[in-house]
Amino acid sequence: MASIDFYAFGVPYGYSSIKGKSEHERYLECFYNNVSRESGRKMVVKKREDGAAFYSLLVYADKGKNFLDVNGRPGSFFGLSLVLTNQQFKDPKKVWTCLNNVYDEAIKGNLIRDDNLSKQYKISDFRGAQMEKFVSAALQREFSKGLLRGEIVDFKYNKDDKTNDQVFRPVSLVQSLQKEMER
């Protein structure tokens, strides 16, 4: 059976995360450095030589709007990652759907106000909000729907594999799904 680590991270009031393995934390913290250049939602897939495969949903401010911390300071973001070791998901688009559902059904409105004007954290720290328990329950509900059933396969790092580094945005996902339907 696959072992999946999950992480919720972002900037509710300074960088905060559900703590996990330190080697994973260092990688996830790098998303904080890109906040000013990003907008909207995207999923980043990163497969590393150490066998870790990261599937990260990143939620930034929408174009022309702000993502505020709990005190109203702009420049925040939210991330949710699933990490497998020596295994990978066959179809990253299904992971995208799963993580977006977790955000839309559990995070948005409960821990983050997300409306037409802006996004803003309602909490100051993930641990103080019992975030791990909250996100874990939401992920379990998503996994129980069966979308990712049978999607985990063994993985051995190959530096020439073009799927080691992938970025998905809503438009690219829609276009690829349309192409599949045309076949």
What pTM, to 2 d.p., does this model score?
0.83
Residue, of 114 and 156, whose pLDDT is higher: 114
Question: What confidence category does residue 127 fall into, taking pLDDT thresholds of 50, 70 and 90?
Answer: confident
pLDDT at 141: 87
Q: Which domains does the chain have, with CATH numbers?
A: 4-182 (3.40.1730)
Q: What is the pLDDT of residues 74-91, one digit of tens each?
A: 999 999 999 999 999 988
Give CA–CA dist 7/25, Å, rounded: 9
HEC-encoded secondary structure of the chain = CCCEEEEEEECCCCCEECCCCHHHHHHHHHHHHHHHHCCCEEEEEEECCCCEEEEEEEECCCCCCEEECCCCCECCCEEEEEEEECEEECCHHHHHHHHHHHHHHHHECCCEEECCCEEEECCCCCCCCCHHHHHHHHHHHHHHCCCCCCCEEECCCCCCCCCCEEEECHHHHHHHHHHHHHC
Question: What confidence category does residue 182 fall into, taking pLDDT thresholds of 50, 70 and 90?
Answer: very low
Q: Which of 82-86, 99-103, 113-117 has the lowest mean pLDDT?
A: 113-117
The count of other CB atoms within 10 Å of the CB of residue 68 is: 20
Residue, of 155 and 175, whose pLDDT is higher: 155
Please give the mean pLDDT across all residues of the chain.
82
Q: What is the pLDDT of residues 13-62, one digit of tens each?
A: 998 888 667 778 888 888 887 776 778 899 999 998 888 899 999 998 88
